[in-house]
Amino acid sequence: MILQSLRDTSVVLKMAYRLDKHALWSTALAALTGAAVPFIPVLISAYTLDALTNGQGFSRILTLVLASLAALFVLRLLESLSVKIRDVHVEVCTRKFNMELSRKNLLMDYELLESPRVTALKNRIRNDDNWGAGFYSVFWSLSNVLNCLFRLAAAFALFAPLLSAGTLLTRWTGPVLLTAILAASLLAAVAKTAWTDRKLYGIMQESAAKKTYFGYFVNGDRTNTGGKDVRIYGGASLIWSYVLTDQGWSEGWKKRFARTSGMGGLMLGFASGAAEGLAYVLVVLQAAAGAFGIGAVLKYAAAIYQFSNGLSSLVDAWGQLSIAALRQKHKLEYLDVPDVLVKGTLPVEKRNDNEYEIGFRNVSFRYPGSEDYALRNITLTLNIGTRMAVVGLNGSGKTTFIKLLCRLYDPTDGEITLNGIDIRKYDYAEYMSLLSVVFQDFRLFSFSLGQNVAAGVEYDSSKVESCVAEVGLWERYTAMEKGAESILYKDFDDSGIEISGGEAQKIALARALYKDAPFIILDEPTAALDPIAEYEIYSQFNTIVGDKTTIYISHRLSSCRFCDLILVFHKGQIVQQGCHDVLLRDGEGQYAGLWNVQAQYYVEEPVAG
């Protein structure tokens, strides 16, 4: 276990060095100066006593004291400066590390984001951070370890003469006692690191991973997201009653934690007591032999205290560093998760006429970790300029079909082609440039309106205005004082503009137009609207897109009556396809059944009498 601890720590420190090597050097410098400071007063006192004992003059003693105070001042100054430098570089290094995690999350294959492995990793990372300070704790613990090592080195340098001083009778005691001190401390270090600290980590992980009411309502922020219901129905007392009776921190768990933690304290006490006790035996023996004077006694006693205290502190600090490194292990594993989608190299042919054809060839798909197929044996061709609707009940496979088309996932079986070539052979970014998609759960960001429409830092203002006007948002746009530079929402700017849900939908549609891709897909972005409003938006958008190939997804059949082709999905398969009138004539078909069920809610019953 001690070797594993060394490996874990080494990997994390290498990562820190790669991100900002100055963070490690400044941490070492701060630890060195901090470790040297306590020894200056000891040396001042010891040398002053020796000078007085030997009858040296006042000027000699004053010179010695002033020189020592000057050294102490310089060390304090260096310590303060190095700590400030360390703090800056540690902050930079930690932010870079967190940025790498965020970048990984942004660029990782979408399929992995929903995979059981990555979900489990994210949960473990969250559990690790729930009871630690993240990457910061590595530097804090490293600083303590280095401080202890430097203290030990300085203390040993001070009392090293003690090991060979004295009579022939007492000289052998030094090496023997020092060996005993080091052996006791090493034993405690191995036992504490390999057993106590890692066992404590496991106990804390167990508690963090357990589903508890405390974690659900307090750490999970459910009292905020459900705040309206809590206040309307007076649910605070109900929630609090569960939090107070939470069994996540059971008596058995608390006993195991206390027992393990207590054992760690016992080991530290053993190391400290053994080191200090044995060392003082050596001092007594050597002093009794007349090996040194009163100043040396003070110096050696202080050095022994620093050495024994440093040993026990080192054992504890190393345990903390090994656990801090262990808590970063899941993050490093997350950064090393390899992508799974095949990334081809073929360029996509650039065509002004949008003559692109996409085909599904006996495509089946099941999500990672699932044994059930979400899609089965899908075969179809998306012809140029087609207006196609995808309809069906919730869970019928509509959105999965779009995820495959957008290469968020690759098929489990079969292939999807672009102009007859498997899309996995194309350069991923170039293939994605062919698609504009507005998902049901689309997101706008707290950036400028222009950046939201362009999905980029730079944008063409005139093109933004044109797209905004086409989706029916011109009147709202002209009311914005800063136009395309207007910031949406107030997350980062108090002058940000709050927009309604309907306005957000139109901005998302404008974003799809701005990209000017040959394929446009609307995956129920208007599901929150009533059927009439949805139909109006779809019909308007159908006029705007011109000759582009467009796919509309909805569980409301009336919204897609204008489409050339309607695909009816049911249990992961295409059970019908055709235009609205043709499908409706098949009275026994899935489409007609769904149509009749939905239509009855919009047909007014005649008024009697």
Average pLDDT over residues 437-461: 90
Q: How far apart are CA 23 and CA 29, in angstroms?
A: 10
* Integer CA distances (angstroms), 597 to 198, 536, 567, in order: 61, 21, 18
pTM of the predicted structure, to 2 decimals:
0.72
Closest by CA position to 572, among listed 388, 365, 410? 365
Phi, psi of 437 (to 5 degrees): -130, 135
- Looking at residue 487, its pLDDT comes to 92
Half-sphere exposure of 316 (CA within 13 A, CB side): 22
- Greater model confidence, 567 or 291: 567
Phi, psi of 519 (to 5 degrees): -115, 125
Question: Mapping DSSP to helix (H, G, I), strand (E, B) and coil, where does residue 265 land?
Answer: helix
Radius of gyration for the chain, computed over Cα atoms and rounded to the nearest angstrom? 36
Of 315, 85, 228, nearest to 93 (Cα)?
85
Residue 418 binned pLDDT confidence (cut-offs 50, 70, 90): very high
Beta bridge mates, 389: 552, 566
> Which comes out higher in pLDDT, residue 204 or 329?
329
Q: Are 340 and 407 in contact (CB under 8 A)?
A: no
The pLDDT of residue 414 is above 90:
yes
The 387-392 sheet, strands edge to edge: 435-439, 519-523, 549-553, 387-392, 565-570, 573-578
- Please compute the mean of the pLDDT values over residues 87-96 and round it to a whole number: 88
User: CA torsion sign, 243 to 248 to 253 to 258?
Assistant: negative
Rounded Cα gap, residues 244 and 343, in angstroms: 52
CA of 185: how far to CAs of 5, 271, 274, in Å? 17, 5, 8
- Tens digits of residue pLDDT in 267-296: 555 555 555 565 556 555 555 555 555 556
Q: Where do the H-state alpha helices sit in 54-172?
A: 58-107, 110-113, 116-130, 136-159, 168-171
- 52 against 19, higher pLDDT: 19
Q: Are the CB atoms for 272 and 309 separated by under 8 Å?
A: yes
Can you give the pLDDT at residue 454?
92
Closest CA to 529 of 559, 509, 561: 559
CB 181 within 8 A of CB 282: no
Q: How far apart are CA 563 and CA 54, in angstroms?
A: 107
How many C-beta neighbours within 10 Å does residue 519 have? 20
Reply yes or no on whether the pLDDT at 187 is more than 70.
Answer: no
pLDDT of 528 over the 70 cut: no
- Compute CA distances 586 → 245, 564, 576, 590, whole Å: 59, 17, 10, 9
| pLDDT tens track for 334-372 | 999 998 888 889 998 877 767 788 999 999 999 887 889
Instruction: Specify the pLDDT at position 448.
Output: 93
Residue 510 binned pLDDT confidence (cut-offs 50, 70, 90):
very high
CA dihedral 37, 39, 42, 44 (to 10 degrees): -70
Is 297 or 567 the better-scoring residue by pLDDT? 567
Encoded tokens for 388: 């196609």
Angle between helices 58-107 and 136-159 (to 10 degrees): 150
Are 541 and 522 in contact by the 8 Å Cβ rule? The answer is yes
Over the range 268-298, which residues count as b (16 or more CB within 10 Å of their CB) and which as e? bebbbebbbebbbebbebbbeeebbeebbbb
Query: Among the listed ranges 91-105, 170-184, 422-436, 560-574, which one has the minimum average pLDDT value?
Result: 170-184
Q: Which residues pair with 365 in a beta bridge?
A: 375
